[in-house]
A = this chain, B = another copy of it.
């Protein structure tokens, strides 16, 4: 690509400047150069000066691979997340990556699409890089992944979830509780016939926990649940339309609907309006995620705002604390329950 096709690349070695060459140029031993980078305090100012000059002159870039092998811990953290481009997780990744890189750690990223097999292969690959820590999403993993995570001598953080009974550090919230929260909100506003529309994407088990919370909240008041399951092969926005079209025709129709996410809710909003419904007068709509468009819709969307950024920040902080990174010192708090905020807007 950018280099010459037939560059005189050595078969072995990257041909890059090495620690030893810097040491020779600075007339010190290799280990001193190593210390210059890793424990500068332990190198006297004069040496430090000579080393710095040599590093500059030669354009030395430390070989982190070699360092990682020697020390058995690379400054790299792996994260497996359902998807990168959705509005929800992107914030978490951004915050996590930023916090990490501020302290000299790098992010190794992979997406699972809620698929446990893909998660397993990502975790396996990441473990091969002897990461300083590993972050996975939710507590749903297949047995092979569980075993790898348990056996690997690596700190593990589970995000976007909160299971006090599990060993890994937890940073997230109780999806079940969020389902309860959404449902009670509508109950308190006087709605009774409340439906729940599931995610069209299979594998999003956390969304099912929210559904179960909804069911529980209804049961508390002696009400029956009403769960709609869209076709699995349908994009979320379309699935939302489909759900609304179907639920409108029921007699009696629901007075309110909770959706597994904002994309579904947005589709439903559009379908409802197209069908001549007055929203929220004829039907209340509640989403989940507080996607950026939620406040731009007409009517604006009532939804639950997950602590996306906070999850990324807290996860990174816990990792750094565990690694003993200065400026992040402190006891590593294993349970980190964050709040999911209900944003009441026009739709419900």
Contacts and interface: CB of A to CB of B under 8 A. Distances in A.
Interface of A: 1-3, 7, 9, 12-16, 59, 61-69, 72-74, 76, 83-87, 90-91, 93-94, 97-98, 101, 104, 106-111, 121-122, 124-130, 133, 147-157, 167-169, 266, 270, 291-293, 296-298, 318, 322, 332, 334
Given A63-B130, A148-B61, A109 B110 contact: no
A3 B154 CA distance: 7
A61 B94 contact: no
Given A62-B128, A63-B69, A85-B87, 18 more contacts: A1-B155, A1-B334, A2-B169, A61-B152, A64-B125, A65-B74, A66-B69, A69-B69, A84-B90, A85-B91, A85-B93, A101-B110, A106-B110, A107-B109, A107-B110, A108-B109, A266-B296, A292-B292
Contacts of A334: 1
Contacts of A124: 61
A66 B72 CA distance: 10
Contacts of A167: 1-2
Contacts of A106: 108, 110, 125-126, 129
8 contacts: A63-B130, A64-B129, A65-B128, A67-B128, A94-B111, A97-B110, A270-B296, A296-B296
Contacts of A151: 59
A150 B59 CA distance: 12
A66 B13 CA distance: 13
Nearest to A128: B64
A7 B2 CA distance: 46
Contact of A84 (B97, B108, B291): B97
A206 B334 CA distance: 43
Given A72-B14, A85-B90, A153-B7, A61 B110 contact: no
Contact of A65 (B98, B129, B318): B129
Nearest to A88: B85
A255 to B, nearest CB: 24
Contacts of A322: 1
A103 to B, nearest CB: 12
B108 A14 contact: no
Please indicate which of the listed interface residues A3, A15, A98 has the most CB atoms of chain B within 10 Å of its own CB.
A3
A9 to B, nearest CB: 6
